[in-house]
Structure 1
Amino acid sequence: MDARTPPYPDFLRDGGEAGELIRRYDWAATPIGPISGWPQSLKTTVGLMLRSPIPMVLLWGEHGVMIYNGPYSEFAAGRHPRLLGSNVLEGWPEVAAFNARVMEVGMAGGTLSFRDQELTLYRKGVPEQVWMNLDYSPVIDESGQPGGVLAIVVETTGRMTMEAALRDSETRLRGVLDGMGESLALMDRDFRIIDMNAEALRLEGRPRHEVIGKTHWEAHPDADPALGEMFRQAMETKAPVTMKHRYVWPHGRVSWIDMHAYPVGDGLAVFYGDVTEQVEAEDRLRESEERLRLMADAVPQIIWVTDAEGQTEFFNRQWFEYTGATDKPDSAAQVAADFVHSDDQAVTMQAFEEAIRNQGIFEVEHRIRSKEGEYRWFLVRAEPYCDPRTAEIVRWFGVSIDIHDRRIAQEHQQLLINELNHRVKNTLATVQSVASQTLRNAESAQQAREALEARLFALSRAHDVLTRENWEGADLYDIVEQAVAPYSSRGEDRLHLAGPRVRVPPRMALALAMALQELATNAVKYGALSNETGAIGIAWSVQPGTDGPRLHLQWEESGGPAVRPPSRRGFGSRLIERSLSQDLDGTAQIAFPTTGVVCIVDAPLA
């Protein structure tokens, strides 16, 4: 034990940490001397002070040597324990003038009392505004004169700060909140309404005396019980709470009230407002959103929305019905990976990323898998919505339009165009060949003209049949019927057609039409149709072959003049035997028995 440390004096017992500090302090180095020489009045005052829960400091002697208790050490903050044993004017130099006045009055036997006294102190090395309730009283020593001044120091900075903040907040917000229809009510710790602003009273719709001074439950007996619990929670946790509730006012009006309770000092500042219009607007908005959703679901195309980065926010019902998905995909990337055809995925994401970079329209055609596992073509188009303030993309609004049938039709149309171009070229080549051969073998211009017209008419009639069939083939019966129709007279039965309904490809149809026209022309000139008794039989059948079905067609004349084999082959015969054989990839033979011309055609149907 330090030789300077006296035994534990009775008046310091139960003095806590502050008492121990006082016992160990070297008071001999101060004007008041060692503890052993302290007067009883000093000891009694220190003992009383140490046992007080209120911050107290004793300024002893004319120098105002400071002795204080534990609560005061907390008030002194960073200056504790240096203040212990120091001269008050030196210990608190920033308020030396104030303390000099205190010492002057107290040592003269006077008292001082200050409420919410504002001083600037350096407790933590920096200036801070501090508010305190200060009470100073003289301590009479054994001589009957003031030996020191006892100060009770209660800091009210917290309360003053809150009250100032509340006043500032009330000043700042009153006009704004009144203009916004907000109301303000102040409650004390017993939830008694101590003040209300004009807007709150207007909302209440009743005089002040019916509300002010009453507890929340007295003023609003029909309020939602949860509201009272909210106030208790705010008071206990010292944390703001909010609540929106439906309330029926005493005069019968029904409102939706939005409450915000803020702890202020020992009470609550409650801001509230009638948000009935807002709630009704939200209800209308929900109804509107529901209508828009119904409209979106009614649209026969897929509608979707994503955020700026492609995270999905909405898909209408068509998406789920088409894909069979039960959950909304998380992102555009997941849509591409899980639903878009693998051949189209890279193109889709490349187009979307480019649209994001350029803040432009996203458009692509890709195939989407249906719930049946089939893929259909869709035109996908999305436009960005940008924040008008920052011009940054906020979200994408898109639609996926089923263009599968149109695309297939376009592809088919292009195929038909290509086929038509091909066949037109072939037809022109055929016309060129027919014209060239006809002109070269005709004996006169008149004969050439008649032969050329007949052959072109036959070609035209075959084209008519194919056109009706979209050039996908023709019925052999129609081809034969059209080819010999010009040679059939009303009331006569000289042309006999027999055979099944067989579809032949376009090239075979044209070739047979030309061949039948040539045969019919010769029959009119020289054969069975050149008299009144001749007849022609045209019969066909389909027979199996090693490479598939084959067409067997026979032209046979009878009843006409006796036939003699020609001395030379004309263009008609060459057209039938050579060209027909080449076009049909088969055989065509003409025989000239005396009973009538016979032509036999054999060719594959494929």
Structure 2
Amino acid sequence: MDSRTPQQFDFLQDGGETGALIRSYDWSETSLGPIPSWPQSLKTTVALMLRSPVPMVLLWGPDGIMIYNDAYTVFAASRHPRLLGSKVLEGWAEVADFNANVMRVGMAGGTLSYRDQELTLYRKGVPERVWMNLDYSPVIDESGRPGGVLAVVVETSDRVKTEAALRDSETRLRGVLDGMGESLALLDKDFRIIDMNAEALRLEGRPRDEVIGKTHWEAHPDADPALGDMFRRAMATREPVNMRHRYVWPHGRVSWISMHAYPVGDGLAVFYGDITEQVESEERLRESEERLRLMADAVPQIIWITDAEGNAEFFNRQWFLYTGAVNGPTTAAQTALDFVHADDEAVTMQAYEEARRTGGVFEVEHRIRSKEGEYRWFLVRAEPYRDLRTGEIVRWFGVSIDIHGRRVAEEHQSLLINELNHRVKNTLATVQSVASQTLRNAESTDQAKEALEARLFALSRAHDVLTRENWEGADLYDIVEQAVAPYSSRGEDRLHLAGSRVRVPPRTALALAMALQELATNAVKYGALSNETGAIRIAWSVQATGSEPRLHLRWEERGGPAVRPPSRRGFGSRLIERSLSQDLGGTTRIEFPQTGVICTVDAPLA
């Protein structure tokens, strides 16, 4: 014991800063009086209080004179040390009513306890809301009655504010989560559902207690097993996973659900939503696209679609069947470059760019290469499809129609017309020449008429043969047969034809028909057909000599009257020799042996 410290102050030892202040304080100015006069119960209580790490204050006597420890000075803040030795109702005037009740209850021997009691104090000169845990107990003095009230003061302001902030945060978070259009469920490490937002509960369609607190498998026993596997994978790898699945809810409703599971802490946050309408719309779209494809593939023409910039989006089956391509071209320009005839490429792209510039119909005729390497003509036509809101072109829908037959027919028709013009002119020239020569050499009008008709009929019959063959040529047998048919009588066998089926050009056919008619007319008048025993043999063959095949035809008369060479060449002979030689580009020779007329023709078949 320190000899310098009076024994009556021993209870203040180890009392810290506040203990020193208590010893130096002039208590005689208070109802407690000097320290040496304090009752032992007061000293004992003060000694206990000073050594406590918990904020404590003793309100002694009817006035509630305040004595406190070091821990309480932190709570008192700037009011320390003024509060020491003051009356509690005056020291904390802003909460005088509260403390008056404390004194009344405590001095009557009662206790009080408050948890997170909210008070407004002026500890730092400004009003401040604080929260405290307060416990008040009476202190019994030597008379056996309460001499004061001991208060344990623990400020909980930080915790209360933190919890309030947390509750506010949770409330806001709950508001955000419940306002989400997507469902959210929180699962712990055991896959137990610990919380769900409002949308998730709405989607569940059942009370909260039937889902919360249960594992995924307990709450959804009929769920796709792959969903549970997805949760396990997310939990094991701690990486997000996604899944779309068909689910039958406990109440029987069937839905398509899209799920995304994200690891959070040691559990999972599962976001999911009902995408039934989306899936059904996608299915309807797929069915619509499939119907469109089936319809497009059933069309015998090529159907195609590009976007506004000419990037290919669709080609039907006919394109691949015709071109043999495995993949469709990527752009209109590539189509023109890879498949359109080089002579048509520039015209095609010019027409396409013009249609894009003006927004009009794209139409062009061009040739497209087939898988065999051949080109066929197609009519290509496409119309723009516009956005209903903006009016801008977003796609081109086109069709490529095979018009090769029409184009060939048109070209052939044009060729035929030109050929017809040429043939008509030649025929008229021939008729004019025949008529002129016939009239000039005829001895009478009747003779002229007869010769002219015969020659024109021969020309007509040859024309008939050529017309049947579209003027592309004729079979030599048909020409010979038609030329001598008028001179063949039923039951007679006087005309003998011998030769193979040989195609001859139109010019050759006409020239031979006219020549054979002249020979047959002379045979009727003067030769083998002028009696009843004569016969004619017409034979021909084709010989491959030199660079091109040549036709050899021989007219030979037998059994007719004896023949004498004519004193002069008539029109018929000149027609045969000169016309055949000129028209056929070969040689023709008529001989007059006594046995019968012989005419030989040698001409190229080109």
Q: Same fold (TM over 0.5)?
A: yes
Does 1:449 find its partner at 2:449?
yes
- Evaluate the alpha carbon distance shift between residue 561 and residue 242 of structure 1 in structure 2; reply closer, same or farther with a 3 A threshold: closer
Alignment of 1:348-427 (within 5 A): 348-427=348-427
Match in the other structure for 1:464: 464
- Listed as ranges, the gaps of 5+ residues in structure 2 are 1-53, 56-73, 80-118, 134-154
Do the aligned partners of 1:112 and 1:136 also contact (CA within 8 Å) in 2? no
Query: Take 2:589 and 2:221, find their aligned partners in 1: how far apart are those partners?
Result: 115
- Evaluate the alpha carbon distance shift between residue 542 and residue 272 of structure 1 in structure 2; reply closer, same or farther with a 3 A threshold: closer
Query: Take 1:592 and 1:600, find their aligned partners in 2: how far apart are those partners?
Result: 12
Match in the other structure for 1:131: none
Match in the other structure for 1:439: 439
Query: Take 2:446 and 2:170, find their aligned partners in 1: how far apart are those partners?
Result: 122
Query: Take 1:549 and 1:222, find their aligned partners in 2: how far apart are those partners?
Result: 89
Q: Secondary structure at 2:489's aligned position in 1?
A: coil
Match in the other structure for 1:598: 598
What is the identity, as a one-letter code, of the residue corresponding to 2:129? L
What is the identity, as a one-letter code, of the residue corresponding to 1:363? E
CA drift of 1:455 comes to 0.9
* 1:66-108: CA deviation from partner (whole Å, max 9, x where unpaired): xxxxxxxxxxxxxxxxxxxxxxxxxxxxxxxxxxxx9974458
Alignment of 1:44-193 (within 5 A): 105-106=122-123, 112-113=129-130, 167=175, 192-193=194-195
CA drift of 1:484 comes to 0.9
Match in the other structure for 2:326: 326
Match in the other structure for 2:228: 225
Match in the other structure for 2:526: 526
With normalisation by structure 1, the TM-score equals 0.64
CA drift of 1:549 comes to 3.3
Query: Take 2:366 and 2:186, find their aligned partners in 1: how far apart are those partners?
Result: 65
Do the aligned partners of 2:496 and 2:537 also contact (CA within 8 Å) in 1? yes
Match in the other structure for 1:540: 540
- Evaluate the alpha carbon distance shift between residue 255 and residue 578 of structure 1 in structure 2; reply closer, same or farther with a 3 A threshold: same
Do the aligned partners of 2:120 and 2:129 also contact (CA within 8 Å) in 1? no
Match in the other structure for 1:343: 343
Match in the other structure for 2:491: 491
Match in the other structure for 1:40: none
- Evaluate the alpha carbon distance shift between residue 518 and residue 194 of structure 1 in structure 2; reply closer, same or farther with a 3 A threshold: closer
CA drift of 1:433 comes to 1.6
Match in the other structure for 1:54: none
Query: Take 1:162 and 1:388, find their aligned partners in 2: how far apart are those partners?
Result: 46
Do the aligned partners of 2:178 and 2:198 also contact (CA within 8 Å) in 1? no
CA drift of 1:434 comes to 1.5
CA drift of 1:109 comes to 10
Query: Take 1:310 and 1:158, find their aligned partners in 2: how far apart are those partners?
Result: 58
Do the aligned partners of 1:584 and 1:604 also contact (CA within 8 Å) in 2? yes
CA drift of 1:492 comes to 1.6
CA drift of 1:488 comes to 0.9
Alignment of 1:176-215 (within 5 A): 192-193=194-195, 196=198, 200-201=201-202, 203-207=203-207, 209-211=209-211
CA drift of 1:479 comes to 1.3
* 1:219-270: CA deviation from partner (whole Å, max 9, x where unpaired): 446553378679999xx99x9x986433332234432234689999xx9998
Query: Take 2:163 and 2:436, find their aligned partners in 1: how far apart are those partners?
Result: 124
Query: Take 2:75 and 2:586, find their aligned partners in 1: how far apart are those partners?
Result: 134
What is the identity, as a one-letter code, of the residue corresponding to 1:225? G
Do the aligned partners of 1:188 and 1:268 also contact (CA within 8 Å) in 2? yes
Query: Take 1:382 and 1:103, find their aligned partners in 2: how far apart are those partners?
Result: 83
Query: Take 1:158 and 1:378, find their aligned partners in 2: how far apart are those partners?
Result: 75
- Evaluate the alpha carbon distance shift between residue 385 and residue 509 of structure 1 in structure 2; reply closer, same or farther with a 3 A threshold: same
Query: Take 2:588 and 2:250, find their aligned partners in 1: how far apart are those partners?
Result: 110
CA drift of 1:213 comes to 7.5
Query: Take 2:221 and 2:122, find their aligned partners in 1: how far apart are those partners?
Result: 55
Query: Take 1:59 and 1:374, find their aligned partners in 2: how far apart are those partners?
Result: 105
Query: Take 2:293 and 2:171, find their aligned partners in 1: how far apart are those partners?
Result: 50
Residue range with higher mean Cα deviation, 490-499 or 311-320: 311-320
Query: Take 2:184 and 2:547, find their aligned partners in 1: how far apart are those partners?
Result: 101
* 1:188-212: CA deviation from partner (whole Å, max 9, x where unpaired): 9995346636x954x5343455346
Do the aligned partners of 1:340 and 1:368 also contact (CA within 8 Å) in 2? yes
Residue range with higher mean Cα deviation, 466-475 or 485-494: 466-475
What is the identity, as a one-letter code, of the residue corresponding to 1:471? W
- Evaluate the alpha carbon distance shift between residue 160 and residue 260 of structure 1 in structure 2; reply closer, same or farther with a 3 A threshold: farther
What is the identity, as a one-letter code, of the residue corresponding to 2:246? R
Match in the other structure for 1:75: none
CA drift of 1:187 comes to 6.5
Query: Take 2:124 and 2:187, find their aligned partners in 1: how far apart are those partners?
Result: 40
Query: Take 2:275 and 2:231, find their aligned partners in 1: how far apart are those partners?
Result: 19
What is the identity, as a one-letter code, of the residue corresponding to 1:312? A
Residue range with higher mean Cα deviation, 323-332 or 476-485: 323-332
Do the aligned partners of 1:336 and 1:348 also contact (CA within 8 Å) in 2? yes
Q: Secondary structure at 2:493's aligned position in 1?
A: coil
Match in the other structure for 1:81: none
CA drift of 1:554 comes to 2.9
Q: Secondary structure at 2:557's aligned position in 1?
A: strand
Do the aligned partners of 1:341 and 1:366 also contact (CA within 8 Å) in 2? yes
Do the aligned partners of 1:187 and 1:195 also contact (CA within 8 Å) in 2? no
CA drift of 1:302 comes to 3.4
Do the aligned partners of 1:106 and 1:136 also contact (CA within 8 Å) in 2? no
What is the identity, as a one-letter code, of the residue corresponding to 1:414? S
CA drift of 1:547 comes to 5.4
Query: Take 2:76 and 2:452, find their aligned partners in 1: how far apart are those partners?
Result: 141
Query: Take 1:295 and 1:600, find their aligned partners in 2: how far apart are those partners?
Result: 66
Do the aligned partners of 1:554 and 1:601 also contact (CA within 8 Å) in 2? yes
CA drift of 1:444 comes to 3.4
Query: Take 2:550 and 2:259, find their aligned partners in 1: how far apart are those partners?
Result: 92
CA drift of 1:544 comes to 5.2
CA drift of 1:386 comes to 1.7
- Evaluate the alpha carbon distance shift between residue 222 and residue 539 of structure 1 in structure 2; reply closer, same or farther with a 3 A threshold: closer
- Evaluate the alpha carbon distance shift between residue 399 and residue 545 of structure 1 in structure 2; reply closer, same or farther with a 3 A threshold: same
Report the RMSD for the aligned CA atoms in angstroms: 4.7
* 1:113-155: CA deviation from partner (whole Å, max 9, x where unpaired): 5xxxxxxxxxxxxxxxxxxxxx699xxxxxxxxxxx9985769
Q: Secondary structure at 1:385's aligned position in 2?
A: strand
Query: Take 1:480 and 1:456, find their aligned partners in 2: how far apart are those partners?
Result: 16
CA drift of 1:563 comes to 3.8
Query: Take 1:537 and 1:242, find their aligned partners in 2: how far apart are those partners?
Result: 97
Do the aligned partners of 1:529 and 1:535 also contact (CA within 8 Å) in 2? yes
* 1:552-599: CA deviation from partner (whole Å, max 9, x where unpaired): 333333333344444443322222222222112223333444443333
CA drift of 1:358 comes to 1.9
- Listed as ranges, the gaps of 5+ residues in structure 1 are 1-43, 46-56, 63-101, 114-134, 138-148, 178-182
Q: Secondary structure at 2:548's aligned position in 1?
A: coil
Do the aligned partners of 2:462 and 2:483 also contact (CA within 8 Å) in 1? yes
Q: Secondary structure at 1:399's aligned position in 2?
A: strand
Match in the other structure for 2:292: 292
CA drift of 1:359 comes to 2.0
Q: Secondary structure at 1:379's aligned position in 2?
A: strand
- Evaluate the alpha carbon distance shift between residue 312 and residue 421 of structure 1 in structure 2; reply closer, same or farther with a 3 A threshold: same
Do the aligned partners of 2:76 and 2:123 also contact (CA within 8 Å) in 1? no
- Evaluate the alpha carbon distance shift between residue 550 and residue 268 of structure 1 in structure 2; reply closer, same or farther with a 3 A threshold: closer
Match in the other structure for 2:569: 569
* 1:1-38: CA deviation from partner (whole Å, max 9, x where unpaired): xxxxxxxxxxxxxxxxxxxxxxxxxxxxxxxxxxxxxx
